[in-house]
Every structure is written in structure tokens, then in C-alpha cells.
Amino acid sequence: MKLESGSLARQVEFVFRQLEGELTNATAGTVLIHVRNNAVGKFGVRHHPIECKNGKFEAVDKGLTAAQVQAFKQMAIEALKFRSEWTHGEILYDFSVRSSANTWSASILFESNYNMANWNARFSPRKNELWDSQL
């Protein structure tokens, strides 16, 4: 893991500690983490599915156990190794529990975000250059 990701790894660990109660017994969903300047800005969980038939909620299948939530947290931290040199973006961890074998699976999505407003100052044209004529 890169040195600058060490701090982010501690932050992801903190996020999962905060979400532990929500994740325990959850059957499926997405943990989302918004990153700005290599720091977690906000985080949360999208829970799905909550099914309703004929106006009544269905019985919920057994979700993540406490041990599975801990394994999920370790996987999330280890996944940061695959993040490559971006400082702004989102990390999405989709997860689901298969009730038949009480196993769980997860997938990770990294989204990097860049803001041209930050770069325009660096690449502003000189007085004698005409950018429009180059287009």
C-alpha cells in the first residue's frame, strides 16, 4: 500500500467501525465513501432490497454476521491497494449475502474525480497565445 494511503486506510477502518451496527444483519447494499484530498468527507450505506408485497413487508433473510462484517472491513482496507494515484472521488463497496449457504460477496468500484477549475490556473495561455486559433 502506498504511504499516503495509510491514512486513508485508517479512515476506512473508522468508517466500517461506525457502520458496524448498520451492516450487521444487512442482506445487501452499498457502502459509499466520498474522498477529497485523500480524506473521507462523508460516508454511508445504501440498504437494498427492502421488499414489500401486497402492502406487507417480507421476512428479511439472515444478513451479515459480526464476523462477516469484520472480514468485509478487512477486505475494504486491503482493496485500497488497487487505488491508483487519485485524491478525489468515491469508493463503493457493493455487498450481498446468499442465504442458501450463508456466504457473502462484495465488489469494489473506485471512481476518481478531477476538477478542471483547479487546472485552468496552471495552464492559462500566455498573452501572445491564441488558443482559439489552435482549435
47-92: pLDDT as tens digits: 987 777 888 887 767 889 999 999 999 999 999 999 988 999 999 9
Q: Where are the domains of the chain?
A: 3-110
Of residues 132 and 108, more confidence is placed in 108
pTM confidence score: 0.78
Q: What are phi and psi of 78, to 5 degrees?
A: -65, -35
CA–CA dist 127, 33 (Å, integer):
42
Give the pLDDT of residue 130.
55
Instruction: Calculate what percentage of the chain has a pLDDT beyond 70.
Output: 81
Q: Taking CA 2 as the corner, what is the angle to CA 110 and CA 36, rounded to the nearest 5 degrees?
A: 45
